[in-house]
Amino acid sequence: MRMIDTVIKPMHPEGYKFVAAFAAVTVLLFWIWEPLGWLGLGLTIWCYYFFRDPRRAVPENAGLLVSPADGVVSLIGRAVPPAELGLGPEALVRVSVFMSVFNCHVNRAPIAGRIAAVAYRPGKFFNASLDKASEENERNALAIEMADGRKIAVVQIAGLVARRIMCWKQAGEMVRTGERFGLIRFGSRLDVYLPQGVHPQVALGQTTVAGETVIALIGQDAPARVARVE
């Protein structure tokens, strides 16, 4: 690991056109007035940083369910998963990870399995940190069937400034734990609905790393995590 590798990260191809547009505008701004050009340069660097796609050390131990997103755990509680996934009306434990515009927005599969369903639903654009965003906002939901037949749901939710949810997987495909499956542009949230009897291993306010942070243990009788803030 070189020191520069901790700062310079690979960029996802989805970001190329945006960075190019920001750079073109920056050149124009420098021609109009130099201070505006420096502002444009800063925004171009931010745009690159937004679309960064760093490599992750994904744990391969059986039964580990990892965070699908970089961000902060904003909600933990029981809620009914999206009806369009057909997982039933029973409330499940939901863990929500809020992504600010400074987080990496590439989404990763929380666990390995077969994608049983993918369902997109248009909606509004409330602040993704609000509880009502799960019901009202634009979203794309996936149901992943694990090897033991149980299913978990992972839901991409558009945020206040997000206007584009991307999902690269289809129903019937297999996915590995930590595998990239989608991206949301410019501020959003990921919800994970855990199977019955599975308790979260993260706490409110905890920072998560997509593909690395373990948010639940499948097949292990582990109590919910309790944490303190210092």
Give 186-199 pLDDT, tens digit per residue.
768 899 999 999 99
Query: Mind spelling out the 3-state secondary structure of 95-158?
Result: EEEEECCCCCCEEECCCCEEEEEEEEECCECCCCCCCCHHHHECEEEEEEECCCCCEEEEEEEE
> Which pLDDT score, from 0 to 100, does residue 227 have?
77
Under the banding of pLDDT at 50, 70 and 90, the label for residue 101 is confident
User: If you ran DSSP here, which 8-state letter would residue 83 be given?
Assistant: G
Is the distance from CB of 78 to CB of 123 less than 8 angstroms? no
Active site residues: 188
Instruction: Output the pLDDT for position 209.
Output: 97
**pLDDT at position 131:** 66
**Banded pLDDT at 222 (limits 50, 70, 90):** confident
Flag whether pLDDT at 162 surpasses 60. no
Q: pLDDT, tens digit, for every residue of 52-96? A: 999 999 998 989 999 999 999 999 999 999 999 999 999 999 999
CA–CA gap between residue 162 and residue 186 (Å, rounded): 5
